[in-house]
Structure 1
Amino acid sequence: MNSVKLFLFFSFLLFGVNNDAFTQRSEDKENLKQQLLVVSNRYRATVGIGIIHIESGDTLAINNEGHFPMQSVYKFQLGLAVMNQVDKGKLTLNQKYHVTKKDLLDETWSPLKKEYPNGNVDLTVAQLLDYSVSKSDNIACDILFKLVGGTDSVNKYIHQLGINEMEIAATEHEMHADSKVQYTNWSTPMALSRLLEGFFEKKYLSDSSNTFLMNRMIESSNDAGRIKGMLPEATLVAHKTGTSDDPNGVFDACNDVGLITLPNGTHLALSVLVNNSHESYDDTRKLIAELSKVVFDFYSGK
């Protein structure tokens, strides 16, 4: 990652921010909420939004009572759990896992499988994290679940962080075997934003582990047409997407959650979760992009 970008992303820790403007703008949140609802109501979908302006503590949630299926968003939580075990000495980033043909499950998204179609390759934990978090690889994801003790282990870890309004219960393989299983991996929008906030504030991991995972999310190839879709090109975003299949022309999940650096040097934790979308894939992505732009403009003072 570019060291200048990393400096800008964390510069608030050194220099602080004047929050007076944001305290004043918080009085206009009802207007922001109405703008978001106007955008959402143009689409045939259920939308949940969780917003935290980190420096001021300003928050806004829409449909926060909903249990939205996360899909691959939960690879962020898995990444946190892996790096926590690295910090505890239970895993190392250089530790190798031998990928066999048996690991290469059929009919699932996997750049790893495309690169190593016959398996028989040793990959480090760092490489598996890059595949899982940065490239949303489902096979690498399930290997990492195996290494950390399964979905229950990750679920307990996240709850121990004080984030309880989410559940992680099924692997990628289990979700692909039965589409209904995806609903066992759910979250409220604000729970994800709270987790992002704690991650940004380095509450969970060592500095080196935090930076490693942050870089995977900033440099990722996750769909740039969602949160990042309508933001200025140079905007720094660390994010993780999640998407269901649409066998009946309906997306059960099309999500993006991330940390955004605003032009004024402050930061947003933003979660946009879309369920039951009867729109096309491109229009569902556009919905997320439009909502993110509204939030970005509001907290940028535009």
Structure 2
Amino acid sequence: MNKIYRASFAAILALTTHFSFAQSSVLRPQIAEIAKAAHGIVGVSVLGLEDRDTVNYNKNARLVLQSVLKLPLGMAVMHLVDSGVLTLDKTIHVSKKDLPETYSPLRDKYPKGDVDVSIRDLLYYAVSESDNDACDILFKKLGGPNQVQNYLHMIKMRGINIDATEEDMRKSWEVQYTNWCKPVAMVKLLDTLYTGNVLKPASRDFLNKLMTETTHIPTRIKALLPVGTVVAHKTGTSGKNEAGLSAATNDVGVITLPNGKHIAIAIFITNSTADDATRDMVIAKIAKAVYDNELLKKNK
């Protein structure tokens, strides 16, 4: 009986492994073909959170984070909430000097500063609205980017490096390259957030809500997916230098499939000479290819 069981289990495992490999061997060339249009470095990592199937393309490339860094920043803040050091309702006094001219809906709302803003609202602005000033206010509250890096080390995350604030990056084009991430590491962080115990369920759900309800840059992962598909995601975007080079066009997050299962996906485009619409469409097409392949697996 045990021999029959072991043989059956081995057959099932072999079939599953073969199917997983077949999916990867089909999807990876699709990603490579789509990536050509970016005229830059494209890195992709995908993980099925339930079936643990993976597909990767340039998974270990060190690619520019830009505003994707606001996800680990949010996790570090919520860790302090879980630890009792902060509360979401705690307010921070925001002065005019805390609101330099940059992309900031918070600054648009309070151009003169002199306002008390809760941690909850700062996280909303930073994560959902990708607000640069809110991000740096939170960095300052934590003690700087090194504290977010320390948090990542504490939860045993490697392959993500955060050295610079948004203000630091505005001062020099090259500084943004000091904030980098390997796509496979970002997917591991998403996996840790959604399936691990690094945050309490209420804190995890709060961040998930911020990432799901965002309307910021819907032209990437969500663009070609069926209307109503739930995607919890965080984008990142650089400007262009004088040579027309875009350092970062990114989108990372978790897609919920029709069967209720989830895909963690990270797509980074670094040093691209393609135009904005083309870079966004590369991300959208890769996400759609991954989504379609997951549905194909379901129907096999």
Using structure 1 for the length normalisation, give the TM-score: 0.91
What is the CA-CA distance between 1:264 and the residue it aligns to?
2.0
| Aligned equivalents of 1:35, 1:286: Cα separation in 2 | 14
Matched with 1:224 is 218
| Aligned equivalents of 2:284, 2:203: Cα separation in 1 | 30
Q: Return the match for 1:127 from 121, 128, 153.
A: 121
| Aligned equivalents of 1:161, 1:264: Cα separation in 2 | 30
CA contact (8 A) 2:252 2:267 kept: yes
Matched with 1:42 is 37
Q: Return the match for 2:80 from 85, 88, 99.
A: 85
CA contact (8 A) 2:217 2:235 kept: yes
If you compute each CA radius of gyration, which structure gives the higher value, 1 or 2? 2
Report the CA distance shift for 1:60/1:96 in structure 2 as closer, same or farther (over 3 A): same
- SS of the aligned residue for 1:241 comes to strand
CA contact (8 A) 1:22 1:56 kept: no
For structure 1, which runs of at least 5 residues remain unmatched after alignment?
1-18
Q: How do 1:149-228 residues align onto structure 2 when only pairs under 5 Å count?
A: 149-228=143-222
CA contact (8 A) 2:60 2:184 kept: no
Counterpart residue type for residue 116 of structure 1: Y
What is the CA-CA distance between 1:299 and the residue it aligns to?
0.9
| Aligned equivalents of 2:294, 2:115: Cα separation in 1 | 47
- 1:276 paired with 2:271, answer yes
1:205-235 Cα deviation digits (max 9, x unpaired): 1111111111010011221110001000110
- SS of the aligned residue for 2:170 comes to helix
CA contact (8 A) 2:123 2:134 kept: yes
- SS of the aligned residue for 2:116 comes to strand
| Aligned equivalents of 2:38, 2:215: Cα separation in 1 | 26
CA contact (8 A) 2:38 2:269 kept: no
| Aligned equivalents of 2:50, 2:205: Cα separation in 1 | 19
What is the CA-CA distance between 1:247 and the residue it aligns to?
2.8
Q: Return the match for 1:234 from 213, 218, 228.
A: 228
| Aligned equivalents of 1:144, 1:294: Cα separation in 2 | 36
Matched with 1:113 is 107
What is the CA-CA distance between 1:22 and the residue it aligns to?
6.5
- SS of the aligned residue for 1:42 comes to helix
Matched with 1:296 is 291
What is the CA-CA distance between 1:30 and the residue it aligns to?
1.0
Matched with 2:134 is 140
CA contact (8 A) 1:48 1:62 kept: yes
1:226-265 Cα deviation digits (max 9, x unpaired): 0001000110000000000113322100000000001222
For structure 2, which runs of at least 5 residues remain unmatched after alignment?
1-12
CA contact (8 A) 2:190 2:254 kept: yes
Matched with 1:252 is 247
Counterpart residue type for residue 279 of structure 1: A
**RMSD of equivalent CA atoms:** 1.5
Counterpart residue type for residue 78 of structure 1: L
What is the CA-CA distance between 1:104 and the residue it aligns to?
1.0
Matched length = 283
| Aligned equivalents of 1:31, 1:127: Cα separation in 2 | 43
Report the CA distance shift for 1:116/1:26 in structure 2 as closer, same or farther (over 3 A): same
| Aligned equivalents of 2:31, 2:178: Cα separation in 1 | 27
CA contact (8 A) 1:22 1:299 kept: no
CA contact (8 A) 2:41 2:269 kept: yes
Counterpart residue type for residue 106 of structure 2: L
| Aligned equivalents of 1:77, 1:288: Cα separation in 2 | 21
Runs of 4+ in structure 1 off by over 2 angstroms are 19-25
Moved more, 185-194 or 61-70: 61-70
Q: Return the match for 2:94 from 90, 99, 106.
A: 99
| Aligned equivalents of 1:167, 1:27: Cα separation in 2 | 31
CA contact (8 A) 1:111 1:137 kept: yes
What is the CA-CA distance between 1:65 and the residue it aligns to?
2.4
